[in-house]
Amino acid sequence: MVYQLKLIDQNLQGLTREMAVACWRTVDLIGSERPRIGLYRRLYRALRDHIAGQAAGYRFCGAKSCDEGKPVLGEPEWHEVFAPGRERLHRYLLQTEQEPGQVIQGLVAAVVRAVAQEYPGVRWKGLARLVRGRMERVLHGRLYVAPRCGHTPLCEMNEPADPWDAADPLNAT
């Protein structure tokens, strides 16, 4: 099964920043001291590296059949259902054969590793559970199943695009 991330007015860098901020705030909630800015940078890099290995962008994704999938986590937000322009919708396909729960678990593991590297020797009770909840909230209504992916003539014309290239007009927010 193929899964896709649908982002409105946001590219993959923006989603990664949102995830890193959410995780940084989670550490702030359960930690005894304010988290350092170095932790945010480490979280962003860990999440970026993890997502870069799983998500890919293509130039011509977005046929009508691509919208047939249902969100895996929750329902789409009202502004996503009634999006005025399709040019504001960014689609990224997950390349791995993992279920959404496994994808979220990989993100959680990357975050926990980053926190452990930033604060060696400190035990964070309940961090993985809280981070998992945050990741599910961030991906709520954005992670879709793509049942028709690769089965339309438009898919055959697809060419890969670098989802991390901010200079590419495809990734403009």
Range of the domain at 83: 3-171
Q: What's residue 86's pLDDT?
A: 52
Q: What's residue 2's pLDDT?
A: 82
| Residue 83 pLDDT greater than 70, yes or no | no
Give 37's pLDDT tier (boundaries 50, 70, 90): confident
Give 164's pLDDT tier (boundaries 50, 70, 90): confident
pTM as predicted = 0.85
| Residue 72 pLDDT greater than 60, yes or no | yes
pLDDT cut 90: percent of the chain above it? 32
Q: How many domains does the chain have?
A: 1
Tokens (6 digits) for 147: 């049942």
Give 29's pLDDT tier (boundaries 50, 70, 90): confident
| Average pLDDT of span 95-120 | 90
| Residue 147 pLDDT greater than 80, yes or no | no
